[in-house]
């Protein structure tokens, strides 16, 4: 059974993979073995996604944590200010198109964000899971998702699902099924199928609600 925190893990995994790919592209370009096109194509939406996610945590997770574990969230809020700075630095580096400046920005961002996400999962979200009742967790995670403008939802699905593995995909589909009315869920599944291509077959086998698997 998928639980609300599975959505947090899925987005964290997507952030890790997307930024690691950009950092790898920046390293290759700095060695003269490629271009920074991947960074230039992806950094803007990545920064938007991270901002929506972070604001949701600040407005909902951190406030809930203050009630059940005072002072814990303060360190993570400070991390978020660091992520804001690194996001701005990456945007400035991308505008410059200077390969070394981009490399410095992606390396710093990749290291710090990965450290931060790992720390949240090892500490903050363990306390959250232990001290916040499951129904309230669902309300909080749902409130985080509402930071995403509704008209941008298709972009989020097209960004998220190619970056995550089958377990995260299954969990996200099951969570969508729990909270979305049927027309919205049908729209979401069409987007997912478009986003993951041939991998749809494996996902449909694991989630019967998607209907019969379609042969590639």
What are the extents of the domains in the chain? Answer: 1-148, 150-216
Name the pTM for this structure: 0.94
Segment 103-114 shows an average pLDDT of: 98
Q: Quick one: pLDDT band at residue 68, thresholds 50, 70, 90?
A: very high
Whether the per-residue pLDDT at 214 is higher than 50: the answer is no
Q: Which two tokens stand for residue 194?
A: 């478009």
For residues 169 and 14, give the distance between their C-alpha atoms in angstroms, rounded to a whole number. 11
For residue 46, the tally of other CB atoms under 10 A from its CB is: 21
Q: Which two tokens stand for residue 44?
A: 């803007």
Cα distances from 8 to residues 95, 98, 125, 144, 157, in angstroms, run: 30, 34, 9, 10, 14
Whether the per-residue pLDDT at 41 is higher than 70: the answer is yes
Q: Quick one: pLDDT band at residue 211, thresholds 50, 70, 90?
A: low
Whether the per-residue pLDDT at 215 is higher than 70: the answer is no
How many CA atoms lie less than 13 Å away from 193 in the CB half-sphere? 17
In whole numbers, what is the pLDDT of the chain averaged over residues? 95
pLDDT tens digit sequence for 163-186: 999 999 999 999 999 999 999 999
CATH-assigned architecture of domain 1-148: Up-down Bundle (1.20)
Segment 111-121 shows an average pLDDT of: 98
Segment 10-33 shows an average pLDDT of: 97
Segment 45-59 shows an average pLDDT of: 97
| CB contact at 8 A, 35 and 27 | no
For residues 26 and 99, give the distance between their C-alpha atoms in angstroms, rounded to a whole number. 7
pLDDT the model gives residue 213? 40
- Angle, in degrees to the nearest 10, between helices 37-56 and 99-119: 30
Segment 101-109 shows an average pLDDT of: 98
Q: Quick one: pLDDT band at residue 36, thresholds 50, 70, 90?
A: very high
Share of the chain above pLDDT 90, in %: 95
- Runs of H (alpha helix) within the chain: 4-30, 37-56, 62-68, 72-96, 99-119, 125-131, 134-145, 153-163, 166-179, 182-196, 200-206
pLDDT the model gives residue 62? 98
């Amino acid at each position: 059974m998928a639980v609300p925190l599975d959505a947090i893990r899925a987005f964290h995994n997507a952030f890790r993979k997307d930024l690691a790919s950009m950092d790898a592209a920046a390293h290759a370009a700095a060695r003269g073995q490629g271009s920074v096109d991947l960074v230039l194509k992806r950094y803007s939406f990545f920064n938007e996604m991270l901002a929506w996610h972070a604001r949701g945590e600040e407005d909902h997770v951190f406030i809930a944590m203050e009630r059940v574990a005072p002072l814990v969230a303060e360190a993570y809020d400070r991390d978020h200010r660091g992520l804001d700075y690194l996001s701005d630095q990456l945007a400035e580096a991308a505008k410059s198109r200077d390969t070394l400046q981009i490399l410095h920005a992606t390396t710093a961002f990749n290291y710090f964000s990965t450290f931060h996400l790992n720390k949240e999962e090892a500490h903050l979200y363990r306390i959250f899971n232990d001290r916040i009742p499951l129904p309230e967790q669902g309300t909080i995670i749902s409130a985080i998702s509402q930071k995403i403008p509704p008209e941008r939802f298709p972009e989020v699905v097209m960004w998220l699902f190619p970056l995550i593995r089958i377990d995260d995909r299954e969990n996200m589909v099951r969570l969508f099924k729990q909270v979305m009315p049927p027309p919205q869920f049908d729209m979401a599944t069409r987007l997912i199928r478009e986003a993951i291509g041939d991998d749809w077959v494996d996902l449909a086998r694991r989630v019967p609600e998607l209907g019969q698997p379609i042969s590639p």
